[in-house]
Structure 1
Amino acid sequence: MKYLFFSFFLMSSLLINSQEFPDINLNDIEGKSISVKELADSDDIKIFSFWATWCVPCINELDAIADVYEDWQDETNVELIAISTDDARTKKRVIPLVNGKGWEYQILLDENQDLKRALNINVLPYVVVVKNGEIIHTRTGYTPGSEEELYEVVKEHSK
């Protein structure tokens, strides 16, 4: 029974991690439409970080990564795309927050939560690591130090 459970868990995690990234367009903060599928279809690793202005752990994670992001890019050429899931009521807070934090990430707005729904994301923060259009890692939640574990995943797959 234990082996059956382990096999099921292993197979389901492989299925989740080998999922193809959805073909959805989102707007950036200037209003330009961007295909997330085109962003994901790259030899370089992309980190899609789903967040919201009201989500304190999300902001803490993006702040922690901002401190080391330049080093990550120099070493692995990784790109982080921060996808705001703020809706019509709270999206007006996105640009002032991003500007105040000085984040150097590409910011996309998923205000209808189409991408969030397509990836079956229920809890924020949520991180999806993609290479060549395939999801290679996902993580829900944030605790201090999680960014180092994320970077280990990036380094492992950037070889």
Structure 2
Amino acid sequence: MAQNDLPSVDLTSIDGKTIVLKDATNKDGITIISLWATWCVPCLKELDAINDIYDEWQEETNVELLAVSVDDSRTVKRVKSMVNGKGWDYTVLLDTNNDLKRALNASSIPLTILVKDNKIVYKHSGYSPGAELELYEKIKEFSK
């Protein structure tokens, strides 16, 4: 797959700070960027599944996950309480205007991207149980 530069997009953290996406990515390894929404059941299943094994992933590969919510202004207020309720350890960012979603030509979510040195090295759309294991194989492959 051709490597594309990660789009330069400003997102908002759940505590209201503006974050430049490129500054939020992992400088020494792989960043998973997961586009999700509070109303997207497969998104939640994927992030829950990764959360169960995220500590091991981080220990082995130093990977970091940015969970980017594409909830719009009507549903974005649910993001913080959902994240807290699920106990996710991820950095959660908000793409309320769908700038990142548009820049990535994401037609559907969940969309999972692996980024290394601000280049998109892998993209996967949709989720089925077990897909997180395949994702981890890719992470190990790219973190060598």
Question: Could you tell me the TM-score, scaled by structure 1's length?
Answer: 0.88
Q: Determine which structure has the larger helix proportion and give its number.
A: 1
Distance across 1 between alignment mates of 2:92 and 2:136:
20
Deviations 1:111-148 (A, max 9, x none): 00001000100101000100001100000000000000
Q: Of the two, which has the highest radius of gyration?
A: 1
Q: Secondary structure of the equivalent of 1:50?
A: strand
Q: Secondary structure of the equivalent of 2:24?
A: helix
Taking the TM superposition and a 5 Å limit, the aligned residue runs for 1:132-147 are: 132-147=117-132
Unaligned stretches of 5+ in structure 2? Answer: none
Structure-2 residue corresponding to 1:98: 83
Inter-CA distance 134–41: structure 2 relative to 1 (3 Å threshold): farther
Q: Determine which structure has the larger strand proportion and give its number.
A: 2
Q: Secondary structure of the equivalent of 2:78?
A: helix
Aligned residues: 144
User: What is the Cα-based RMSD across aligned positions, in Å?
Assistant: 0.9
Inter-CA distance 41–76: structure 2 relative to 1 (3 Å threshold): closer
Question: Could you tell me the TM-score, scaled by structure 2's length?
Answer: 0.97
Q: Secondary structure of the equivalent of 2:6?
A: coil
Deviations 1:27-82 (A, max 9, x none): 10011111112233723100000000000000000000000000000000000000
Taking the TM superposition and a 5 Å limit, the aligned residue runs for 1:122-141 are: 122-141=107-126
Distance across 1 between alignment mates of 2:16 and 2:4:
28
Amino-acid identity (%):
54
Taking the TM superposition and a 5 Å limit, the aligned residue runs for 1:32-111 are: 32-40=17-25, 42-111=27-96
Structure-2 residue corresponding to 1:22: 7
- The list of structure 1 runs, each at least 4 consecutive aligned residues, that deviate by more than 4 angstroms after superposition, is none
